[in-house]
Amino acid sequence: MIGKSFFAATVAFGALVSTPTLAETLTAGANVGNVPWEFQDENGEIVGFEVELLKEVADRLGYDEVDIQNIPFNGLFSAVQSGRIDVAISSITITDERLESVSFAQPYYDSDQSLAARTDSDVKSQEDLDGKVVGVDTGSTGDMYATERESDWGLTEIRRYEGLNPAMLDLQAGRIDGYVSDIPAVAYYLRDKPDMEVVERLTTGEQYSMMFAKDSELAGKVNEVLDTLKDEGYIADLHEKWFGSAPEDTTSTVEKRDMPQPKS
């Protein structure tokens, strides 16, 4: 693979527009353990919806390899800003605040937050959180959502975690009373855990995409590839593979969208 790319670059260096000329490896950051987006399988390989999507995008752009570095969610922002990584994935929500300091390609998944609790708990909705302890992922939109409502909910504490797994273990053990996080990841995790459930969908209208350094040229190139992959139905097929159902035609998984821009 490397030899073929090197030969092509040597023979027709000036003609390769879409193929990287300085680096054949795309360096990515991900909060590994974020099922079903990026996590380790039984063989220790990093897999998931976004991992497959990123590798396909990289292949279309001419990269030979994708190097995924495991970085806590909150560290992904500084990692792309500093140039430590080229791109970040981890079901990252596009927000106006984030667009002030980073860039995103177009979205490919529409989501909301969720409140999860044990099935034997008296927490059946956000109305039942008075005097309770809620877990969130540090720096996530779930963290923002819960923090904004901390006094309204009457929480005694918001406990912050680096990823879904440790939070869910504490929820299962009764060390926290509820967990606020992205609904697709939580629902996927709980599919074989009958002692816990999503008790309420918290509507936020979020959209996920890949994140880049501010005004990164790579962001625009990835955005064009995502157009092509949506036209081909590739991302819709990926959705069906990982979630067991076809996405609705009106979602960003299917429809091409403009590249997000900061508010002027």
pLDDT level of residue 12 (50, 70, 90 thresholds): very low
Q: Domain 112-205 falls in which CATH fold?
A: D-Maltodextrin-Binding Protein; domain 2 (3.40.190)
pLDDT at 163: 86
The predicted structure's pLDDT at residue 15: 39
Average pLDDT over residues 139-161: 97
| More confident of the two residues 18 and 213 | 213
Is cis: bond before 36, omega within 30 of 0?
Answer: yes
| Distance from C-alpha of 50 to C-alpha of 241, rounded to nearest angstrom | 12
For residue range 35-72, list pLDDT tens digits in order: 899 999 999 999 999 999 999 999 999 999 999 999 99
Taking only the tens place, the pLDDT of each residue in 71-97 is 999 999 999 999 999 999 999 999 999
The mean per-residue pLDDT over the stretch 103-124 comes to 97
**Percent of the chain having pLDDT more than 70?**
91
194-231 pLDDT tens trace: 999 999 999 999 999 999 999 999 999 999 999 999 99
Q: What is the reported pLDDT for 22?
A: 52
Which of 89, 36, 60 lies closest to 226 in space, CA to CA?
60
Which residue in this structure is represented by tokens 């300085």? Answer: 22
> pLDDT tens-digit profile of 166-198?
999 999 999 999 999 999 999 889 988 999 999
**Smallest Cα–Cα separation from 98: which of 208, 223, 224?**
208
pLDDT digits over 220-264, tens only? 999 999 999 999 999 999 999 998 889 999 999 999 999 999 987
Both structure tokens of 1: 């693979």
The full set of domain ranges for the chain reads: 2-110+208-243, 112-205
Amino acid at 213: A
Q: Which of 140, 150, 147, 145 is nearest to 185 (CA)?
A: 140
Q: Residue 1: pLDDT above 50?
A: no
Contact indicator for 76, 37 with CB cutoff of 8 Å: no
CB 262 within 8 A of CB 94: no
What is the CATH superfamily name and number for domain 2-110+208-243? Periplasmic binding protein-like II (3.40.190.10)
pLDDT at 49: 98
Q: Angle at Cα 86 formed by Cα 84 and Cα 88, nearest 5°? A: 95
Query: How many Cβ atoms from other residues are within 10 Å of residue 99's Cβ?
Result: 16
Whether the domain at 2-110+208-243 and the domain at 112-205 fall into the same CATH topology? yes
**Per-residue pLDDT at 23:** 58
Rounded to the nearest integer, the mean pLDDT of the chain is 91
